[in-house]
Amino acid sequence: MKQTTVRCVSWVAVSSDEQARADKESLPEQKRLNLEFIEDLAKYYPGTQGVLVAELEVIGSRSIIRLEEAIKAHDAYRRLDEMIRERAFDLLVCRRRDRIGRETALITTIEALCLQAGIIVAPRSSLPHQLDVAATRQNEGQRIVSLLESHFASAEIREFLRRGREGRAKRAKDGKFASKIPWGWRAAYDEDGTRHIHIDTSAAATIRYALLTLYLENGMPIRTIVDVLNQEGYRTQHGKLWTRAAVRNLLNRVERYAGWAEFNTESKRGAQYVRAEGKWPPIITKEDAQAIQEERTSRAGKSYNAERLFSRTATCETCEGSIIVAGNVDSRRPHLVRVTYRCINRCRGSHITDERMKEALLDAIDWLTKQANREQVLRDLPNRTTTFQAQIAAAERNLADIKEQRDRADHAYIVLARLTDENYTKISDDLNAQEKAIAGQLADLHSALADAEYEQNLRGRLDDIASAGRAVLEGDTATANAWIRKHFRLYVAGNEVSRIEYL
Ligand SMILES: [Zn+2]
């Protein structure tokens, strides 16, 4: 018979006074019985197999109404909230519902969040008839909603609904994976159950090889990458052969591989794009991610042809249009044909040969082999990193300030009851709007900083150009083309290279 694995969290709770009075089910007793139940899950629900993924315990007062407050007061609630959002388990096992919280509102919030995430709450004292989330959600849904309405202030309901809607966006903003853990990383739980994300080394090696070596350094088109990966024995996440779609998926995830948390990347409803520093170890650097994005933009919309050394390396000095390969080359006798380039807008007189371009580039490389010349280039370089770092620090201080204001408002509303629903909502909305705006600024600042840092690394790149440039130009055409585009921009006027920029 087919067995369904059910990931279980064991939840135990006692308040300190209960424990003193030797509660009928003490903490160790609750733990033991929960584990026993999980081990014997198949007896209660045939065809299932229970697996314990975490044990959470709360000692102390649970007279808390709001989940936010509970999370602040007890680590177990924080972890429970996190695991629900990550859908890290299927069944929440406890002695009775009242172990989840003292107040109905808190119990209901947690049950509702569980249901939304497809998790079933199983109090041993009143087990659900079946472990079918869809059915449970349908039966329980209405009951939950009415309970919610009777127990929550209107602001609380709004907050609850917002959590569901914006949960994933918020997770991204908090730097966590928006949904499940993607290929490239694994989760590990340490002894106290804290989750750590670490790199899956073999997956990461494949990802780096495809994106950095094949796509970026060797300038390969996607179809060639597919062939190379398959020939060399690399396989996808599911152990299958690579396809173009699978390689394209890697390209779509470069921001994430670089450690950026993203959400609403392609929202059809126009939801706000969210990007923040992720809380996972990056697989590639932010500079690499940017280079890949630029490479994609550069390749987009044209049939990609890496056969020509100077494809997409040059700009027309007159109109700033691209310089493209002129006319069709006879594919039967390519060695006999002189490759020429022209302005895409057909500016008058713009026609330049392959040899002319190469000569100019080699001159530039030779010029850079002189140390003094490299120093001259570097002297003219502005340093903007400190400016951006200061701006980032200021924005982060503003965020901290908003958080403080929110805590004060929460306290005034929940504990002191000094704010009306209306005022509390107004303050919350205002703080949310401010926070969103600053998060957007921060994302922009981080990418500006990455740009500035890249600029500052020019010294290393110039040294590379000087030492390896000639050899690269004489090597494989696709690799040389990718290398030129990474390091230079050529400008063409008439049939001459007018100037060369270092990138
Ligand atoms: Zn032009």
Q: How far is the CA of 308 from the centre of ligand 1 (A)?
A: 20
The Cα 192–Cα 335 span in angstroms is 68
Q: How far is the CA of 494 from the centre of ligand 1 (A)?
A: 9
8-state DSSP, 240: P
The Cα 379–Cα 359 span in angstroms is 26
Q: How far is the CA of 334 from the centre of ligand 1 (A)?
A: 26
**E runs forming strands in 108-246:** 120-123, 185-189, 195-199
Q: How far is the CA of 317 from the centre of ligand 1 (A)?
A: 7
**Domains of the chain with CATH codes:** 4-152 (3.40.50.1390), 201-299 (3.90.1750.20), 307-503 (1.10.287)
Angle at 401 between CA 399 and CA 404, to 5 degrees: 115
Q: How far is the CA of 222 from the centre of ligand 1 (A)?
A: 30
Q: How far is the CA of 437 from the centre of ligand 1 (A)?
A: 40
Q: How far is the CA of 313 from the centre of ligand 1 (A)?
A: 14
AA identity, residue 50: G
Half-sphere exposure of residue 187: CA atoms within 13 angstroms, side-chain side: 14
Q: How far is the CA of 365 from the centre of ligand 1 (A)?
A: 25
Say if residues 97 and 114 touch (Cβ distance below 8 Å): no
pLDDT the model gives residue 167: 57
pLDDT the model gives residue 53: 94
Q: Cα separations (Å) of 461 from 147, 377, 453, 454?
A: 64, 12, 13, 10
Q: How far is the CA of 297 from the centre of ligand 1 (A)?
A: 20
The pLDDT tens digits for 198-242 are: 899 889 999 999 999 999 888 888 888 999 999 999 998 888 899
pLDDT the model gives residue 27: 81
pLDDT the model gives residue 204: 93
Q: How far is the CA of 344 from the centre of ligand 1 (A)?
A: 6
Q: How far is the CA of 61 from the centre of ligand 1 (A)?
A: 75
Residue with structure tokens 């620090």? Answer: 393
The Cα 207–Cα 282 span in angstroms is 12
Q: How far is the CA of 23 from the centre of ligand 1 (A)?
A: 85
Crossing angle of helices 133-151 and 104-116, in 10° steps, is: 150
Token pair in block for residue 213? 């070596």
pLDDT the model gives residue 52: 94
Q: How far is the CA of 322 from the centre of ligand 1 (A)?
A: 7
Parts of the chain with a pLDDT under 70: 1-2, 15-25, 61-63, 104, 133-180, 191-193, 263-275, 301-307, 327-338, 414-417
Q: How far apart are the first and last CA of the chain?
A: 62
Q: How far is the CA of 452 from the centre of ligand 1 (A)?
A: 30
Helices of type H across 253-335? 254-257, 286-299
Mean pLDDT (the chain, rounded): 79
Q: How far is the CA of 291 from the centre of ligand 1 (A)?
A: 26
Q: How far is the CA of 503 from the centre of ligand 1 (A)?
A: 21
The continuous run of DSSP H or E covering 81 comes out as helix 75-85
8-state DSSP, 99: G
Q: How far is the CA of 350 from the centre of ligand 1 (A)?
A: 7
pLDDT the model gives residue 77: 92
Angle at 398 between CA 393 and CA 403, to 5 degrees: 125
Q: How far is the CA of 497 from the centre of ligand 1 (A)?
A: 13
Say if residues 313 and 485 touch (Cβ distance below 8 Å): yes
Say if residues 28 and 111 touch (Cβ distance below 8 Å): no
Q: How far is the CA of 352 from the centre of ligand 1 (A)?
A: 12
Q: How far is the CA of 360 from the centre of ligand 1 (A)?
A: 19
pLDDT the model gives residue 415: 60
Q: How far is the CA of 495 from the centre of ligand 1 (A)?
A: 12
